[in-house]
Amino acid sequence: MEALKNMQLSGKPAVTAAQMKDIERRADEAGLSYYQMMENAGNGAAEFIARHHSITGTRVLILCGRGNNGGDGFVVARKLAEMGAKVVLSLVEGEPKTADAIENYRLCREMALRVYGAEENDAVLPEVKKSEIIVDGIFGTGFHGILSDTVRKITENINISIASVYSLDIPSGVNGDSGEADIDTIRADVTLAFHRMKPAHTMMKAIEYCGDVVCLSIGIEEVLKEERQ
């Protein structure tokens, strides 16, 4: 697999959540919109997954949080559905709250994908058992604290499932800066980091949750020349 397990990509240092926000802000000011970065992230993740699995007819469960990590998940859902996957969405903590995530959720609804709301979390558990691929887009790199009981019930079941599990940017339950993790953090087979590795990807205490770490471009290098140095 084209993965770099818990290593820095091409010698570039990991960036914190705050540093990544600043990089994204500068990229947006340089002409790469936040919406396009989300589109690039989700498209890159979907293409990576499709390179390692037969997608047509495959049962895929995508768990989306309320922020931009969930927005990335909505893009993955759209792309994999377009490739022929049987995609099911779970809004683990409710409907999205950020503008770009809301727009991508709207596009998913236009595709008539099956969506479970937060009030249906118990109904998601059978979907976990049936799924061949699970994509974790619940929390991003800024997560800290412990998982809620409702989320924990789902992550516990994911961690005993036979599905191939992909986490977007960071496994849900891991603090991207400190590497601290809830005991029931999702244990990904592959973590798809966007643009740059995050500190937790290189920390021993987070390795067991990250699995193989692959760094995907979201187009920032093309607009920020200093990022190529």
Q: Is residue 19 part of a domain?
A: no
pLDDT at residue number 11: 54
Q: Is residue 228 part of a domain?
A: no
pLDDT at residue number 6: 37
CATH for 151: 3.40.50.10260
Give the 3-state DSSP-derived string for 17-48, with helices as H, strands as E and coil as C.
Answer: HHHHHHHHHHHHHCCCCHHHHHHHHHHHHHHH
Please give the Cα distance from 227 to 211 (Å, whole number). 26
The tally of domains found in the chain comes to: 1
pLDDT at residue number 171: 98
- Classify burial at 189, counting beta carbons within 10 Å of its beta carbon; exposed 0-12, middle 13-18, buried 19 or more: middle
For 13-66, write each residue's pLDDT tens digit: 899 999 999 999 999 999 999 999 999 999 999 999 999 999 999 999 999 999
Ordered DSSP codes for 110-168: HTT-EEE-GGGHHHHHHHHHH-SEEEEES--TT--S---HHHHHHHHHHTTS-SEEEEE
CB atoms within 10 A of CB 160: 9
Per-residue pLDDT band for 225 (boundaries 50, 70, 90) equals: confident
Residue-range definition of the domain harbouring residue 62? 32-220
For 164-192, write each residue's pLDDT tens digit: 999 999 999 999 999 999 999 999 999 99
Sign of CA dihedral 192, 69, 54, 153: positive
- 81 near 107, Cβ under 8 Å? no
Q: Is residue 4 part of a domain?
A: no
pLDDT at 10 over 50: no
pLDDT at residue number 61: 98
Q: Is residue 150 part of a domain?
A: yes
Q: In this structure, what are the phi and psi dihedrals at residue 168, rounded to the nearest 5 degrees?
A: -90, 115
Q: Is residue 58 part of a domain?
A: yes
Three-state SS at 71: helix
Task: Name the β-bridge partners of 212.
Answer: 190
pTM beyond 0.95: the answer is no
pLDDT at residue number 27: 96
Three-state SS at 78: helix
Q: Is residue 69 part of a domain?
A: yes
Task: Name the β-bridge partners of 134.
Answer: 61, 165
Q: Is residue 38 part of a domain?
A: yes
- Amino acid residing at 146: I
For 121-178, write each residue's pLDDT tens digit: 999 999 999 999 999 999 998 898 899 999 999 999 999 999 999 999 999 999 999 9
Q: Is residue 2 part of a domain?
A: no
